[in-house]
Amino acid sequence: MPEHDGLWTKIPDSATLQNMKKAELNELCDVLRQIMIETVSQNGGHLASNLGVVELTVALHRAFRFPKDQVVWDVGHQCYTHKLLTGRAEVFHTLRQEGGITGFPSPAESETDCFITGHSSTSVSAANGLAKAKKITGDDGYVIAVMGDGALTGGLAYEGLSNAGRSHDRLIVILNDNRMSINQNVGFVARHLAKLRIRRRYLRFKQVFGKAINHIPLVGAALYRFVSGQKDQFKRRLYRSSTMFEEMGFHYLGPIDGHNIASLDEALRSAKNLERPVLLHVLTTKGKGCDYAIKNPAIYHGVGKFDITTGQTAAPSTSFSTVFGQQLQKFAAEDDRICAVTAAMTDGTGLKDFAAAYPSRFFDVGIAEEHGVTFCSGMAQGGLRPVFAVYSTFLQRCSDQLLNDTALLNSHVVLAVDRAGIVPDDGETHQGIFDVPLLNAVPQMTVFSPATFEELELQLKQALYDVKGPVAVRYPKGVPLTSAAEFAPTERAYTYLRADGAKTLLITYGRISANVLEAAKYLTKNGRPTSVLKLNCIKPIDPKCVELALSHYHVHFFEESAPVGGVGERFGNLLAHNEFARHYTVHAIKENPGVCTVASGLHKAGLDTEGILQAVGGDVL
C-alpha cells in the first residue's frame, strides 16, 4: 500500500463533516490532496482536474445528503474526492487497478454514484432526467450536475441546458470554470455583486420586492418590467456568461471562488433555497495544491506514474499514436491538402508536433466528435484530405454523422481510430471494442487494422491515396505484441501463412495476430498443421479470403472486438452463403472487461495464446 496508508483514517463521516470548523476543513482538504497525489503517482490517473475540485466537493457533501440527493460528475474525472468521502478511502489505493475502484463514477461501487460517466457533456441531460424522476415520484431531493468548462465545447451540454432550464425542478448545475474561458476578468464590482446575490436575505428581498411592485395599481407591471430591464442591461455588461444561462431558464449565481468553502457553503444553500434550476458558476485552479500540476495542467490531467517529489514522468515510448502522428506529418509535408482534426485529444492522438508544424491545417474542435466528422466531410467535399484522429470509445458518438454526412456523400474522410481493442486502466467507458461493429454498418466504409508500426505506416498511406470514400485505420494503445513482427507489411488485403497439410485455419486481424500466429506455430510443431489468415483490410472482406477458408475443415476466427456485428460474424455469413458445412467458430470479447491491463483483458477474453489453444482444442502451453 502507498505511503498514505494512515491518512484515510483522518477523513470524517458525513455527520462530523457538517460541524467542522474552517481550519479543520482546510486541513481535511490538504489530506485529501495528499492521498490523491500519492495514489496517482503510483497508479496513474486524472490528477489536475481532481485537485481543482477538492473544496467544491467538500462543500457539496456539507450541503447535501447523498444518496438521497444525487450528483452527476461530467466526464467523471473529477470524482476522486467524492469517492474518498463516500466510504472508499480505505480502498482508494486500488484506484484504476484490476479488482479495485475505477477512476470514474460507478453505481456498482457505491449508491452515491448515481450515473456512469466517462464521456463528456452528458451530465446536465442525465441530471435533468434524474431530477424529473424525483419530481414525478414525489422525492424532494436535489440533483446536482458538476461540469467543467471544457464540457461546454460539446453540443450535448447545450441540449441538456436548454431542456433543463425550463424544467422547474430541483436541479443545480455547477459550472467548474478552471480556465477562465467564460469570464475573462470579472473585476471587483462583479465579485462584490456575486457575493451579494448568493445571500439569502438578498434573494428573499428580491422575491418580496417583485411581488410588491407588481401589485401597484395600474403601473406595477410596467414598472417591474422597466426595473428588470435596467437590471438586465447592467448585468450584461458585468456578467457576459450569465445572460446565456438565464435565457435558458436558469437562475445564475456567481462567479464564486471555488477554493473558499465558506463562500461555497453560502452559494449552495442559496441555490437550494431557490428550488428551481440554478447555474452556479465556480472558479477553480486546475492542479490546486501541487506546483507541478498547476504549471502543467495538461500533462497532469491524465498522467501515468510519476516521481512524487519532482513530478517527473517517464519518458514517452514509441507507440501506435506517435507513429501515426509522425507518419501523417511526413505526408503533410508533401501534400498540402492533408489536414488533421482532433476532438480535444492533441497529445493523446500523437498530433502535437503536427499542430506545431502545420497550424493552419490542424484543427482541435473541442469535445465535439460529431462536429469533427461532419467538419471533415465538408473539407473532403471541398477538395482537402482530412484525417480525424479519435479514440475508439469516442467514435461511438458519431454514427449519424458517419452514415448521413459522410457515407451518403462518399466523402474521402480518413478516420485514425486510436485506442482500438482492449484499453488498460480506464475501465468500461473507455474500452475500444465497439468501433468494428459501428464501422461495419457504415456503407462505403473501408477499414484497415494494422498489427505493427510498419503496417500502420503503409495502411495510412493506402487510406490517404488508394481508397475512395470514407476509410478508417484502427490501431491499439501502446505497442505491438512481439510476434507480430513476423508479418511483413503488404498492400494486399490479407496475409496468408500456409502450413503444409493443414486442415485447421485460424483467422484474425490487428494486434492479436501475434498471439494467433504463436498458437498456430505451436500446433503445427506438435503434429497439428495449422494455417493463419491475417486480414489487413477487415472491410470489405476480400473474396479470396473466403476461398482460402473454404479449403479448410476447421476454421476459427479470433477478434479483439465485440462479437455482434463484428468481422467474425460477417465472415461466417459469407462462408454460409458459399455453403460451407464444416466447423466454424467465432471467439471475440463477449463482456466488457472493465479495468484491466492489456494482458489480463486478452486473457479474460480468451485472446491470448493460451486461450486460443484452448479454443481450438490444442494443448495449453
Distance CA 449, CA 327 (A): 16
The pLDDT value recorded for residue 222 is 65
| Separation CA 232–CA 204 (nearest Å) | 19
Both ends of the chain: CA-CA distance in Å? 34
Count of other CB atoms within 10 angstroms of residue 273: 12
Cβ contact 192:202 at 8 Å: no
Pair 508, 516: CB distance under 8 Å: yes
Choosing from 38, 55, 266, 369, the catalytic residue is 369
Give the mean model confidence (pLDDT) for residues 155-171: 94
Q: Which of 170, 286, 419, 511 is catalytic?
A: 286
Residue 194 pLDDT > 70: no
Percent of the chain at pLDDT above 70?
88
pLDDT digits (tens, 9 = 90+) for 421-433: 999 988 899 999 9
- Between 249-258, 318-327, 422-431, 484-493, the lowest mean confidence (pLDDT) is in 484-493
| Mean of the per-residue pLDDT values of the chain | 89
Q: How far apart, in whole angstroms, are the C-alpha atoms of residue 291 and residue 139?
A: 43
In this predicted structure, the answer to whether residue 605 has a pLDDT above a threshold of 50 is yes
> Any idea which of 108-112, 187-191, 475-479 has the lowest mean pLDDT?
187-191
pLDDT grade, residue 195 (50/70/90)?
Answer: low
579 is catalytic: no
pLDDT of 619 over the 70 cut: no
Evaluate if residue 563 carries a pLDDT over 70. yes
Please tell me the total number of residues recorded for the chain in this structure. Answer: 621
State pLDDT tens for residues 224-245.
565 555 555 555 554 555 578 8
Categorize the per-residue pLDDT at 487 as very low, low, confident or very high, splitting at 50, 70 and 90: confident
- pLDDT of 220 reads 63
| 330 tagged catalytic | no
Q: State the catalytic residue, choosing from 83, 96, 288, 397.
A: 397
Q: What does the pLDDT read at residue 180?
A: 39
Residue 185 has pLDDT above 70, yes or no: no
The pLDDT value given to residue 316: 81
The predicted pLDDT at position 608 comes to 97
Mean pLDDT, residues 274-296 = 93
User: What average pLDDT does range 395-419 have in this prediction?
Assistant: 97
- In order, the DSSP letters of 32-57 are HHHHHHHHHHHH-B--HHHHTTHHHH
Give me the pLDDT at residue 260, please. 96
In this prediction, residue 152 carries a pLDDT of 87
What CA dihedral angle connects 104, 109, 110 and 112, to 10 degrees? 10
Is residue 544 among the annotated active site residues? no
pLDDT tens-digit profile of 101-117?
999 999 999 999 999 88
Q: What is the pLDDT of residues 57-97, one digit of tens each?
A: 999 999 999 999 999 999 888 999 999 999 999 999 999 99
Q: What is the pLDDT of residue 6?
A: 65
Q: Alpha-carbon distance 346 to 355, whole Å?
A: 8
Contact 473, 481 (CB under 8 A): no
Mean pLDDT along residues 389-405: 97
Least confident of 51-55, 115-119, 448-452: 115-119
Rounded to whole angstroms, the Cα distance separating 59 from 268 reads 8
